[in-house]
Amino acid sequence: MRTVNPEQHARKRARILAAAAEEFAANGVDGTSTARICRRAGIGSGTLFHYFPTKKAIFHALFADDLARTAEIRDRALAMADPEEGFALLFDRLTADLDDPQAPGLIAAALVQASRDEKFALLLGDDETRTLAALTTLLERLATNGRTAPFPPARAARWLVTVIDAAYLAATNDDYDPAAHAAELRRVATWLTATPLPPAPPSPSPEP
């Protein structure tokens, strides 16, 4: 029986998803074919379908992996003894892709897919529900520590998610400046939550 090298399997899967992300960001779901993903990833169709049975499965996996990383950060944030540090950690995660050039295209593709794909819409909806709950809990803890926000924690959490979503949608504007928008968003978040946020962490350097 042929054995599978887990590390090699994970690397190839990540390579396929990275190629798919570029295609989906540039062309949307309908404008992307599995053949284009194969060409960009430098693999044959047999290899692609060994990992993912359909184009839709690739799209789902791309977002499911990202949401799983967000879930890990949510859990870490809620486990922190200092709610201010936990809030900053989760906020940084939620805004980490503001300077990612692929983000606008992927968000547009996700909005289209969610409108016609119930399973995908549930995936996104569940993540938003859990994020709102985590933010609300952190803001409640901050309120207990004396941080008096202009709105109740649940409303402040909802506004925060709404403003973050709007910041990503603004990335399609011609005058979009990732650094300026990120700094302004941190000021808005500070006002909404009565919690000063430290400067944004530096973006990771691209792999050589």
Domains and CATH numbers, the chain: 60-193 (1.10.357.10)
**C-alpha–C-alpha distance, residues 40 and 109, integer Å:** 19
> What pLDDT, on a 0 to 100 scale, did the predictor assign at position 202?
66
- Going 66 to 101 to 171 to 197, the CA torsion angle's sign is positive
**Residue 165 clears pLDDT 90, i.e. is over it:** yes
Alpha carbon separation from 65 to 62, 70, 167 (Å, rounded): 6, 9, 22
pLDDT (0 to 100) of residue 45: 94
Average model confidence (pLDDT) across the chain: 92
Q: How confident is the model at residue 147 (pLDDT cuts 50, 70, 90)?
A: confident
* pLDDT score of 171: 84
pTM (2 decimals)? Answer: 0.89
Question: What's the start-to-end Cα distance of the chain, in Å?
Answer: 36
pLDDT for 64 beyond 50: yes
Residue 207: the pLDDT is 47
pLDDT, mean of residues 172-181 = 86
- Provide the pLDDT for residue 203: 60
With a cut of 70, say whether residue 175 has pLDDT above it: yes
What is the reported pLDDT for 204? 56
Q: Tell me: the pLDDT tens digits for 83-124?
A: 999 999 999 999 999 999 999 999 999 999 999 999 999 999
Q: How confident is the model at residue 28 (pLDDT cuts 50, 70, 90)?
A: very high
